[in-house]
Homo-oligomer: A and B are copies of this chain.
């Protein structure tokens, strides 16, 4: 069944996913110029589908492309990372509010259970940053889809998160605010469970704002240089 799903996926889609994760994980360094033929041999396909994938990646802002000059991975400054968090603040605030209005009870229960398991994992793994980052990603992912706003979810999941994760991987998952973030997550979900959209939006905005300030502080301290 899952094979059929993969089978219907075209090779351009495959290349798109592969390159996207490669960029996010940092396997392709930002600013790195990549040749098409080299990628073709590495991904086992020809330049037709590859160019289609490159076009889609460019459209999403992960690549920059100059005609006849080649494509290179987008290189973003620290200032731009902070700008991304400003956008996240308002968009995820909206997502939280709409999730409070529309998220089914079952999904909320699931989300709470996931928070519990994440909490256990983190306590057992003693601040294993990986689980924290993964849990954080999962949480925001669910809120976005829970908003039942298709375009909003698409913009968050398809555009912003990939760029944010790109930095996350590079900065070794920022690794700040160990389980403080989890408490904030829990309160946001509680507000959603109580169908208090205004509160959920406020808490989410504050949550992301805190994360942004944390990054800002680290940059000023010189810990993070991008």
A-to-B contact residues, CB < 8 Å: 8-10, 12, 48, 51-53, 55-56, 58-61, 67-68, 80, 83-84, 86-87, 89-91, 93-94, 98, 149-152, 154-155, 159-160, 163
Contacts and interface: CB of A to CB of B under 8 A. Distances in A.
Closest 9 CB pairs of A and B: A90-B90, A56-B59, A59-B59, A52-B55, A90-B94, A83-B149, A55-B56, A55-B55, A10-B67
Identify whether the interface residues of A are mostly helix, strand, loop, or mixed. Answer: helix
Nearest to A89: B94
Contacts of A86: 94, 98, 149, 152
Contacts of A83: 149-152
A111 to B, nearest CB: 22
Nearest to A154: B61
A74 B86 CA distance: 30
Contact of A60 (B9, B12, B59, B84): B59
